[in-house]
Amino acid sequence: MRVHSWVERLDDRPVVHDYLGSNSASPSVLVHRPAAVAAAERDLRRLIRHRPDWLLLHREASPLSRGGLERSLVKSASFSVYDFDDALHLDTGAGAWWRSVASKARKAQLAAANVDRVVAGNEILADWADTVARDVRIVPSCVDTASYSKKTDYRTGDPPVLAWIGSRDNEQLLVGIADALREVHRLTGARILLIGQQSGSLEGLEQLVDRVQWSEETQHHLLARADVGLMPLDDDPYSRGKCGYKLLQYAAAGLPAVGSPVGTNAGILKALGLPGATSDAEWRDHLLELLTLSTEQRRALGLHTLRAVEAHYSYEAWDSRWRAAMGLPPRSNDGWSSRGA
């Protein structure tokens, strides 16, 4: 999303190295694709020898690297950019020995310290990058609003539908607001549309969940069928570095939502005119409020969030500033400043 969607908007498209071209680089995936892994590692080292004129590194180059590969890549280019949208500098690999051996924190540190420019997804990430990098810009995660089906019927469903989209690793965030979700279900019959994995374990919540396998098509078209979007977060240092993409997706579909006002989420909720919840009681009350608004009130809120995301978080709104951050020629001169957003 932070690389491919931008590259598709360039007239002169760079060569993209996407390691395995997979959504996962877990040990089980790597072990079952040894030839592809070997080819990807060779390609990266060939790129270093080629010494490109311009290079954009997003997050990490290789799941097997300890940071030396990332450092060599960014130093090999005439102009290099390191882009990241999570608190990778805090990801030291806790929980599994193989993650600590090739921790994302070390890769982020070495890449940011040796690159010509760092592009961070929000102010919190940029504050860390300022401690190690010489040139830091901010470009938030953006959403292609045109690719999302728009909500047209704002009558509350029978039963109401609460949407959540994400990976299996993040599903447990719903357990953190389970009491509120169960109470909303008891009062309204609401069910949870989970766009992610078709199997999982959400403890007692699973009986309220309708699962749909994630795909580009489902994420772009199913959100408009829901009544309210959900984005709970833990209030910890890593979560504060997140870029609030779920909220942007909900807004792109014209879908009202409730989120945790943690880190960047707080600013996004304010910009979109959506409520933030910090306790079970607030989650329950905000969800019930959105579900019981009149049809016209829900329509007005949904259209407001759509207009706001188009104005503040769309690719069109950030095109010239992204190009400037990447060191690419602008389409027009907009007088953008270094850390401005």
Residue 173 pLDDT exceeds 70:
yes
For 307-321, write each residue's pLDDT tens digit. Answer: 999 999 999 999 999
For 184-231, write each residue's pLDDT tens digit. Answer: 999 999 999 999 988 877 888 999 999 999 998 999 999 999 999 999
For 126-143, write each residue's pLDDT tens digit. Answer: 999 999 999 999 999 999
pLDDT greater at residue 139 or residue 168: 139
Confidence (pTM):
0.91
* Full strand arrangement of the beta sheet holding 79-84: 54-58, 79-84, 117-120, 136-138
179-209 burial: b if 16+ Cβ within 10 Å, else e:
ebbbbbbeebebbbbbbbeeeeebeebeebb
Residue 332 pLDDT exceeds 60:
no
CATH number of 145-312: 3.40.50.2000
State residue 95's pLDDT score.
64
Residue 334 pLDDT exceeds 50:
no
Residue 339 pLDDT exceeds 60:
no
**Cβ-proximal residues to 329 (8 Å cutoff; 6+ apart), any chain:** 323
Residue 57 pLDDT exceeds 90:
yes
Residue 222: CA count within 13 A, CB half-sphere: 21
pLDDT band at 338 (very low <50, low <70, confident <90, very high): very low
pLDDT band at 99 (very low <50, low <70, confident <90, very high): low
Inter-residue contact 164 to 193 (CB < 8 Å): yes
pLDDT band at 340 (very low <50, low <70, confident <90, very high): very low
DSSP E strands, 121-263:
136-138, 161-165, 191-196, 209-213, 228-231, 257-259
State residue 98's pLDDT score.
64
Residue 67 pLDDT exceeds 50:
yes
- Give the C-alpha distances (Å, rounded to integers) separating 206 from 198, 233, 262, 276: 11, 19, 26, 24
Q: Is the peptide bond before 330 cis (omega within 30 degrees of 0)?
A: no
State residue 2's pLDDT score.
87
State residue 97's pLDDT score.
62
Q: How many whole angstroms separate alpha carbon 116 and alpha carbon 118? A: 7
Mean pLDDT of 152-166: 97
In the chain, CATH 3.40.50.2000 sits at 145-312
State residue 336's pLDDT score.
38
- Find the Cα–Cα–Cα–Cα dihedral 329, 58, 216, 22, rounded to 10°: 130
Inter-residue contact 91 to 8 (CB < 8 Å): no
pLDDT band at 335 (very low <50, low <70, confident <90, very high): very low
CA angle 134, 102, 54 (to 5 degrees): 40
Inter-residue contact 47 to 73 (CB < 8 Å): yes
DSSP bridge partners of 63: none
Q: How many whole angstroms separate alpha carbon 279 and alpha carbon 63? A: 37
Inter-residue contact 314 to 320 (CB < 8 Å): no
For 14-37, write each residue's pLDDT tens digit. Answer: 999 989 887 677 777 888 889 999
Q: Where are the alpha helices (DSSP H) in the chain?
A: 4-7, 27-31, 34-50, 68-76, 97-101, 104-114, 123-129, 172-175, 178-188, 216-221, 237-240, 245-252, 264-272, 280-292, 295-312, 315-325
Which range (30-34, 41-45, 158-162) has the least confidence?
30-34
Average pLDDT, the chain: 92
> What proportion of the chain, given as a percentage, has pLDDT over 70?
95
Mean pLDDT of 155-167: 96
For 265-304, write each residue's pLDDT tens digit. Answer: 999 999 999 999 999 999 999 999 999 999 999 999 999 9
